[in-house]
Structure 1
Amino acid sequence: MSDVTEPLSGLAGREAEPTKASGRLRRALGSPFARRAYVLALLALVWQAVALWQNNPILLPTFTQTAAAFADSVANDGLGGYAFASVAVLLKGYLLAVALALVLVSLAVANGFARDVLTTLTAMLNPLPAIALLPLAMLWFGLGEKSLIFVLVHAVLWPFALAALSGFDSVPETLRLVGRNYGLKGPAYVAKILVPAALPAVLSGLKIGWAFAWRTLIAAELVFGVTSRQGGLGWFIFQNRNELLTDKVFAGLAAVIVIGLVVDGLLFRAVEAATVRRWGMQR
């Protein structure tokens, strides 16, 4: 009887291995990264088809022409240096704005008058386009990195502060009572009670601030483009537009998109997976 059972168990094991492999393959193909790759591939096909139908590379180069221009710009035109210059300035302005917003929101949570000040400033300045402040920034700080950081802080500070304050206001009263029972006050109360409970709103605010920062930076660089004596991606786009090199204009835009996708896919999604999704706060 054992002689018959052993071959059958071995056969069942061999049948289970392909089943496990196919299951892993299905999970990989159904992962968020794979679904995003499907969307990107579909967009690339539509782009290629529309560009071929229009047949005017000055107005709309094909996807393959843009990919070739992107590779050539990286190899010969210093596109990587332009991207590094932009990202370096963006991170300075973004991190400074986030730090200032957290301080303002913490004060608003602890004090009613500070809350009135923050909500009033947000209502006044949040609708004001950051690029509209660029002439003033150039007058106050000159032509350079400080002007860009000023407009970046304005672009990120108010939407992130509004999102963080809304998240803190939505924290259940039960959690607030727990913090008070443990004697938490001030920064400790904000860091240990409010921030973890409001993390979905905080992360959403960080994403919105990142998108606003990119828009503002590229628009500002299109005006004067110099960041620490080196042009950024906006300046790269502007220069190639003047020379009617539309494929390289699209290559510069593609660099902005690629950086945005990398930050969203590797940074924000990783933080969400390790925090709010793992804790069951977000689907």
Structure 2
Amino acid sequence: MPEQSLKSDSSLESSNAASLSTRVLNQGRYEALMMLRNGEQLLLAIILPLLAMIGLVITPLIDGIADTRINAVAPGVLALCVVSTAFTGQGITTGFDRRYGVLRFLATTPLGKAGLISGKAIAVLLVVAIQVIILGSAALLMGWQPFAHGQPLAVTASAIVFVLLGVAAFTALGLLIAGTVRPEATLAITNLAWVLLASVGGLLLPAHHVGGIWGPLLSFLPSAALGDGLRSAFLDGQFNVMAAVSLIIWAALATFGASRWFKWD
């Protein structure tokens, strides 16, 4: 009888166990809530991009790119949101989770390594969606006309594709850095990269505006591809094929590097 009871309890636990998809979604929701409750993450995800948008609208730095300053600024700010969350935010979080053994512990649970990575990707997508809603609404209040130069459906589809490609590329880059260097180095690298990519990396300003020999070189960066892709969608109503190909290449290379050299402890 005890043996039958044990088997019955085991089968009951098995039947009540959550599916892998449910565990991944729960992990993604949990990580997204942790990111949104973190003051530093909110500063990076919402406040700084909003300040960048306001600053560029009231200064002449971006004149000549579009018919109005806000039309020129908004796509770049949305690109900056992707980099803030997928690269800097996720990189820092993963780096310190790795230090404190959180990654090693979660990787041994039924969630598994693949489930953990999938949960992180879902968290990034959720936070980026919230960023787009908040900062897109702020841009609309400032006079942004996202569909002035193209059909709403085509523009929206192109923008979504580039946001997804940007999330894939920059999440992989963030995980590559977080899984190969110390957390303090991850913190320094990702924050410094955020500043450089925002200022001269083609996110807020097109790379060709830098001038000289640096403009063409900077255009090969994933940040420039993301910024140019969103500007092409919103300012020209076109899908920038070269920018999409560039992001796909960066995402593939970074994913390969992270899968090969990522250290869980």
Give the TM-score normalised by the residue count of structure 1: 0.29
Give the TM-score normalised by the residue count of structure 2: 0.31
Max Rg structure: 1
* Greater RCO structure (CA 8 Å; 6+ sep): 2
